Structure 1
Amino acid sequence: MEQQLARYYELKEIQKLVEEELNVLRNELIESYAEAGSAEEGEYKLSISYQERREFNDERLYNSLPDPSLWRLMSRADTGKIASLLKLNVIHEQMLTGTYVQRKVPVLRVQKC
């Protein structure tokens, strides 16, 4: 069992290092190719697209809800839960007006040709 614990710990440390390096490389690639949108380098094709994401303000969202018990369903401005409540027609898009800002988030994709 100790070997499993040691290996798990070792792998988590490696994962942390890999994620840090991926984040650095991602940021460098986005800075270098953001304007182009796509590029090919040797065997690899890079494409950068942008997704619109909402960043909610907890206080504004709370104040916009018609029933405080809805806030207990969310407990904080969680975009996944908010999307579910919208889909179920528990809340409506008009209620959310002014409670969030739209952010463009770059999505990086690298493929081997």
Structure 2
Amino acid sequence: MVDKTVRRYYQQKQKQKEIEQELTELRGEIMTYFTEQGVNELEIGSHKVKIVVQERKEYDDTKLYEALPDPELWRLLSKPDASKITSLIKLNVISEEKLKDTFSTKTVKLLQVDKK
């Protein structure tokens, strides 16, 4: 029983890797097409395809630690987590001004494909 389950698990993980690889390739083709066409949204057949651009903050540990000298605050973060830091800013525990030089902004493009 366990042998069969382990074998099946391994097979499914292999399929997952293959599917993820194919999705990466297909995503690349779609992103290239959109870039070449200079568009962010199209209706293709029965699908609506959209590129969503997001900016994500990537914090520098050293600069963040210098900006947050209070060990209690640093302990709350333990590792720079953008969502936790955003929450602390929204709760006015720390100010955004204090953190202005502690991160770089990374632009991320997400691909959304929906059925009409």
TM-score (norm 1): 0.85
State the partner residue of 2:34: 33
In the TM superposition, what whole-angstrom CA distance separates every residue of 1:4-62 from its partner, at most 9, and x where no partner exists?
A: 22212211221122112212221221122032011222222211121121111111111
Compute the displacement of 1:110 (Å): 0.8
Q: CA RMSD in A?
A: 1.7
Matched residue count: 113
- Distance across 1 between alignment mates of 2:41 and 2:61: 36
Give SS of 1:98's match: coil
- Distance across 2 between alignment mates of 1:100 and 1:15: 34
Give SS of 1:22's match: helix
Compute the displacement of 1:78 (Å): 1.5
Q: Percent identity?
A: 43
Compute the displacement of 1:99 (Å): 0.9
TM-score (norm 2): 0.83
Compute the displacement of 1:91 (Å): 1.8
State the partner residue of 1:78: 81
5+ residue gaps, structure 1, are none
5+ residue gaps, structure 2, are none
Runs of 4+ in 1 over 4 A off after TM superposition: none
